[in-house]
Amino acid sequence: MTIISNSTSAFYERSSLDIADLRSRAEGLQADLSRGQRISRSSDDPVGASRLRQLQRTDQLSQIDVANAAKATTNLQLTDSALGSFADYVTRIRELTTQAANGTMTDAERNGIGQEIAQIRGNMIQLANSRDAQGGALFGGQSAGAAYTTDAAGNVTYAGTGTSGDLPLGDGQNVTRGLTGPEFLTLPTGSASPDLLTALKTLSDALQAGGAAAQQAAKDGLAALSQGMDQITTAQTVVGTRLAWVDLTTERRTNLTEMRAGEETDVGGTDIASTVARLQETMTVLEASQASFTKLASLSLFSLLN
């Protein structure tokens, strides 16, 4: 009884469904290509989208680590150059003290040397109170004010905190941002003076006072100066190591950033070659089904019956 087991409306419905499906698939592929991103909404690939979110979060936090590392590097370099100046001053004072220890020196000459040492000490106090890149005390730890205070008699007291504090460099790594004054100015236990600045004051006072004690004070001072120099060079080594550590973590962070960027492209990027191929395939099928639809739709018995 039935010629073709297909009603006219069923044929049209099926054809339109197929063609609409192909069309929407082609449009989806085209959108992927023009965006360069495979994922426009999280539901396109929930796992990939979540991974992308985590990568972007890590990336953003890593940029802060870069800023922190730059801050730490600046402060450590400031510390390093200040330490270099300290070392120069101590060398100069050592020359002067060696002259003063000479028995042929007169009291007047020793007095002059003592005054010069007092001047240099003043410069060293200024240097110890220098500021870091953020405006805080470079050698004052985490205190808000100056690192050292000087009283009317010229005695200095450390006013900062015990440590300089750490800066996070990412991945749980930290670096100590600088040195506190006592960390390189304190003399080893057993010395005549507690720290270098006090020792210099004792030395310059004794030289300016003159007399027999002056030559002995100069000899004692040489020992303290040599210990102070040791402390300063040790501190320079520490700072150098910290700078190397910051460089190491920066390099590691750069590698990780590159890796993350690669993964982001892998997870979220469009694979151009395969997408274009699939688009071409879909277009071919679409054109074929459109052509066959027009051919089939024009097949009507009515046009043949006269």
Partner 1 sequence: MASDLLSIGRSGAQAARIALDVTAQNIANASSDGYVRRSVRLAEVSSSGGIGTIGDVSLSGVRLDAVVRNADLFRQAEVRRTGADSMRADAEVAGLENIQAAVEQSNVYNSMVGFESSLQQLVGDPTSTSLRANVVEDARTMVGTFNIAATALQSVGTGLRFEATDGVTQVNTLSGELARVNLRLARAADASSDQTALLDQRDSLLQQLSKFTDVSATINTDSTVEVRIGGSSGPLLVQGGTAGTLGMTTVSDGTITFAVSGFAAAPAPANLTGGSLAGKAQALTKLAAVQTRLDGLADSLAKTVNTAQGNGIDLSGAAGQPMFSGGPPFTAASLGLAMTDGAKIATAASSDVAGSRNPANLNALRTALSASDPVGGMDGLLFDISGTVQGRTVTRDALKTIASGAQVALQAQAGVDLDQEAVNLVRFQQAFQASGKVMQTAKDIFDTLLAIR
Does residue number 85 form part of the binding site for partner 1 (CB under 8 A)? no
64 binds partner 1 (CB under 8 A): yes
Query: Is 93 within 8 Å of 120 (Cβ atoms)?
Result: yes
Query: Quick one: which of 50, 81, 126, 294 contacts partner 1 (CB under 8 A)?
Result: 50
Q: Which residues contact 137 (CB under 8 A, 6 or more apart)?
A: 129, 130, 131, 143, 145, 146, 147, 160
Minimum distance of partner 1 from residue 90's CB (angstroms): 29
> Which of 99, 130, 142, 233 contacts partner 1 by CB under 8 A?
142
In the structure encoding, which two tokens stand for residue 76, read together?
A: 């450590």
Which of 75, 193 has the CB closer to partner 1?
75
Query: Near partner 1 by CB under 8 A, which window of 12-20, 85-93, 196-204, 259-267?
Result: 12-20
Is position 149 an interface residue for partner 1 (rule: CB under 8 A)? no
State the nearest-atom distance from the C-beta of 133 to partner 1, in Å: 9
Q: Which of residues 150-209 bind partner 1 (CB under 8 A)?
A: 161, 165, 167-168
Closest among 135, 226, 148, 225 to 180, alpha carbons compared: 148
* Cα three-residue angle 149-232-126, rounded to 5 degrees: 30
Q: Is 254 in the site for partner 1 (CB under 8 A)?
A: no
Report the residue from 36, 57, 259, 294 that binds partner 1 according to the rule CB under 8 A.
Answer: 57
Q: Which of 19, 25, 45, 87 binds partner 1 (CB under 8 A)?
A: 45
Candidates 87-95, 110-118, 205-213, 298-306 — which segment interacts with partner 1 by CB under 8 A?
298-306
60 binds partner 1 (CB under 8 A): yes
43 scored as a contact of partner 1 (CB under 8 A): yes
Asked if residue 298 binds partner 1 (CB under 8 A), the reply is no
Q: Examine residue 106 and tell whether it contacts partner 1 (CB under 8 A).
A: no
DSSP per position, the chain = --SSS--HHHHHHHHHHHHHHHHHHHHHHHHHHHHSBS-SSGGGSHHHHHHHHHHHHHHHHHHHHHHHHHHHHHHHHHHHHHHHHHHHHHHHHHHHHHHHHSTT--HHHHHHHHHHHHHHHHHHHHHHT-B-TTSSBTTSTT-SS-SEEE-TTS-EEE-S-S---EEEEETTEEEE----HHHHHBPPTTSSSSBHHHHHHHHHHHHHH-SHHHHHHHHHHHHHHHHHHHHHHHHHHHHHHHHHHHHHHHHHHHHHHHHHHHHHHHHHB--HHHHHHHHHHHHHHHHHHHHHHHHHHT--GGGT--
Binding residue for partner 1, selected from 6, 216, 237, 254, defined by CB under 8 A: 6
Distance of closest approach, residue 51 Cβ to partner 1, in angstroms: 10
Q: Does 71 bind partner 1 (CB under 8 A)?
A: yes
Sole residue written with tokens 């890590």: 58
Quick check: 134 binds partner 1 (CB under 8 A)?
A: yes
Q: Is 300 in the site for partner 1 (CB under 8 A)?
A: yes
108, 212, 273, 305: residue in contact with partner 1 (rule CB under 8 A)? 305
Contact residues toward partner 1 (CB under 8 A) are: 2-10, 12-14, 17, 41-47, 49-50, 53-54, 56-57, 60-61, 63-65, 67-68, 71, 134, 136, 142-145, 161, 165, 167-168, 300-302, 305
